[in-house]
Structure 1
Amino acid sequence: MYRFAAETRQDVYEVEALFDLCFAPGREALSSYRLRDDVPPIRSLSLVARDAEDILSGAIRFWPVTIDGAVTLLLGPIAVHPTRQGEGLASDLVRLSLDRALEAGWQRVMLVGDAPYYQRFGFEKLEHVVMPPPTNPDRVLGRSLVPGAWDSVTGEVLRWAGQRLPGD
């Protein structure tokens, strides 16, 4: 059994250590990290999962980005401690955080990831959305949280410039 909560400032170092454990060295060199530079994650949607002993077992983060002026959520990273993988915790984190995003008024979410894994959550390849290079365009996926949210949203994904966020 896990306890899910919004990530707090006290969780940051533990979450970063989990991401370091679960991802290859140099993860911060990925193009998606350029979109996160000096932009705080959306804490209300960025969740941690702790076990009965209060040990961090998983975490997911979200960041604001824009695409041709359309405010969009960027999901990632998401990680589950190696000793907890295979228990469905990542799925729980994705589903719970997407439910919270919808409740908070977000319309669309995107990520860079494996389509076969993320299709079960309703993500599809975004044909007309361009992540900074060297991102593989086949890994740029999106999901509408409300009907038609991706209709006519095209262009480059840009770093957040401090506009008002849904739910603010």
Structure 2
Amino acid sequence: MSLPGTEAVRPRTAPTMIIAAVLAPLGGLACSVISYLMAMAAVDALPLRTLFNGPIPLQGFRPLGLVAALIGLIVIAVLVALIVWLVARAASPRYGFAAVLFGGWMAVILGGWLAALVTAPLVAMDIRFPPDMIGQMVLQRIGAGGGWGLYWGWLTGLAAAVVFLITNRGGRGGPVPGQPTP
């Protein structure tokens, strides 16, 4: 039983989830393309290469490399959508901005990490990496994916938080099932 004026309201989560699920893979793809182009142009500035090192492996346009990139994009989109949906659903409709911001940021970090982990074996097969160095390459890819999320994930988190704030302005939303309505 709730007091009058304190009804539980479920926040709107679909727009927040969709914007995060679209922005995170696009950002990962953009950083990976920039990193690939910098490598092809032989740019040797380590800070720039590190800043734009993306979670999605682009090793040319060979079939296995493109499959790895597509799988990476899907993993990022699905994981970010799931985590942002869970965070936005649990957040307060009126005061959930910070929760969605940091939850979205963490979702991108985890999405980049997992995408790199899933695609690393495909990259190793694609470029015929020496078997004794595969472990090192996998760890490097995981670090690159998580680092990308740490560097750039706040942008997705911020966009998701702004969308959450706009769509839940004034605490509007649907009533929680099972709660009495006034």
Return the TM-score normalized by structure 1.
0.27
Q: Which has the larger radius of gyration?
A: 2
- Structure with more helix by fraction: 2
Return the TM-score normalized by structure 2.
0.26
RCO comparison, higher one (Cα < 8 Å, 6+): 2
